[in-house]
Structure 1
Amino acid sequence: MKRNVGKIDATVRIGAGVVLAVLAVFAAWGMLTVPVVSTLGLGTIALVLIVEGATRRCLLYRALGIDRCPVD
């Protein structure tokens, strides 16, 4: 699959994923009060954002026909 996420977008996704992962860990340890489902949801979203940022490929962008990646 062709890359469709630019460098800045990828960096933002990785940063946001790390922040959400930290929040999920805090919630799992009981330092942050959220429902259990929300903790799993935060972890899942964090993982998806980190993988999308690292690979610079987004399935939602592909489905919508969006291409934010300049020619490499």
Structure 2
Amino acid sequence: MERNVGSTDKTARILIGAIAGLVSLGILASTVPLPAILAPVLGLAAVLLLVTGFTRFCGLYGLLGVDTCSVDTR
């Protein structure tokens, strides 16, 4: 599996995924006043963002031919 997620993209995915996961858990714990239907949606988004951030591979990028990794100097 080739990398197609660059370092800036990776950082953004991990940060946004972590925030989405925390908000999802907050909804489940009733500490965040948002509709309960958002908890699984945000949880799934968090998992997808974290997995693609840590593996540095995005299947959608692969299908669309996008590669943000080419700007990396490493």
Mapped pair 1:24 → 2:24 = yes
Please give the TM-score of this superposition, normalised by the length of structure 1: 0.91
- CA distance in 2 between counterparts of 1:20 and 1:38 reads 10
Mapped pair 1:42 → 2:30 = no
Mapped pair 1:3 → 2:3 = yes
- CA distance in 2 between counterparts of 1:67 and 1:27 reads 34
- CA distance in 1 between counterparts of 2:34 and 2:59 reads 29
Please give the TM-score of this superposition, normalised by the length of structure 2: 0.89
After the TM superposition, list the runs of 4 or more consecutive aligned residues in structure 1 that deviate by more than 4 angstroms.
none
Q: CA deviation at 1:35?
A: 2.9
Please, which runs of 5 or more residues in structure 1 have no aligned partner? none
Alignment RMSD (CA, Å):
1.3
- CA distance in 1 between counterparts of 2:35 and 2:23 reads 13
Give the % identical residues: 36
Q: CA deviation at 1:69?
A: 0.6
Q: CA deviation at 1:28?
A: 0.3
Please, which runs of 5 or more residues in structure 2 have no aligned partner? none
Q: Which amino acid aligns with 2:69?
A: C
Q: How many residues align?
A: 72
